[in-house]
A and B are shown apart, each in its own frame.
Chain A
Amino acid sequence: DIQMTQSPSSLSASVGDRVTITCRASRDINTFLIWYQQKPGRAPKLLIYAASSLHGGAPSRFSGSGSGTDFTLTISSLQPEDFATYYCQQSSSTPITFGQGTRLEIK
């Protein structure tokens, strides 16, 4: 199985901050990397697919980069509605695996 490791596990930031979350795969997954946002009690929402492609419903302040084993999700200017938990997921091979999540909290 491909292990996905996110860092940090939690993060405190303020509205307007630029935030970066990292995801590392245990082996090369090319660009088969997806990012989701999840708020408490809600289903995850797709943000980024294929490592850097923005999903149609996601705000442009979200961006993704990386290939191989190292990936980043960047929020250019945090908005109040961005405080949530973020998950990365690999789709290079089954079993599909997710990272453990990064909880983004208000400072």
Chain B
Amino acid sequence: QITLKESGPPLVKPTQTLTLTCTFSGFSLSTSGVAVGWIRQPPGKALEWLASIYWDDDTRYIPSLKSRLTITKDTSKNQVVLTITNMDPADTATYFCAHQRFSSGYYFDFWGQGTPVTVSS
């Protein structure tokens, strides 16, 4: 049974760095064809993919935020960490992590419950 859970601060100030942790169980990030991605959703808006880290340590980022994002994994702890620097009120959103499986392309088949983050002074 695959489960994921996001954790991080609910409130950050503008210009601060946000660190989000995704703790998962039921799979290994060293298994071929597996990845974990981060997706966010501002209040009332659509989903936006941010970054993914793959079983072979490859990382991919959304170009518009690439300079501010870092995604890492700790296979021994079953965790994936996303850091976002220089936070802005426009980054207020619910942040989800999700398991990605490859079958005719990667897709998100299991999601965490999401963690809301508000950026405000």
Which A70-107 residues sit within 8 Å CB-CB of chain B? 87, 89, 91-92, 94-101
A98-B107 in contact (CB<8A): no
Name the A residues within 8 Å of B60 (CB-CB).
Answer: 94-95
B63-A49 in contact (CB<8A): no
A97 CA to B50 CA in the complex, in Å?
Answer: 10
Residue of A nearest to B101 (CB): A49
Q: How many residues of B contact A (CB 8 A)?
A: 23
A71 CA to B63 CA in the complex, in Å?
Answer: 26
Determine the main DSSP class of A at the interface with B: loop
B49-A96 in contact (CB<8A): yes
Interface centre among B52, B96, B108 (most CB of A within 10 A): B108
CB within 8 Å: A-B pair count = 68
Q: How many residues of A contact B (CB 8 A)?
A: 27
Name the B residues within 8 Å of A94 (CB-CB).
Answer: 52, 60
| A60, CB-defined interface residue at 8 Å | no
Name the B residues within 8 Å of A49 (CB-CB).
Answer: 103-105, 107, 109
B52-A96 in contact (CB<8A): yes
**A-B pairs with lowest CB-CB distance, top 8:** A91-B105, A50-B104, A43-B111, A32-B105, A96-B49, A49-B107, A98-B47, A94-B60
B111-A44 in contact (CB<8A): yes
Known A49-B107, A95-B62, A98-B47; further 15 A-B contacts with Cβ < 8 A: A34-B108, A36-B108, A42-B113, A43-B111, A45-B111, A49-B104, A50-B104, A55-B109, A87-B47, A91-B107, A95-B63, A96-B52, A97-B49, A99-B46, A101-B46
A96 CA to B104 CA in the complex, in Å?
Answer: 14
Determine the main DSSP class of B at the interface with A: strand
B104-A31 in contact (CB<8A): yes
Would A98 and B37 be within 8 Å (CB), given that A43-B112, A43-B114, A91-B105 are in contact? no
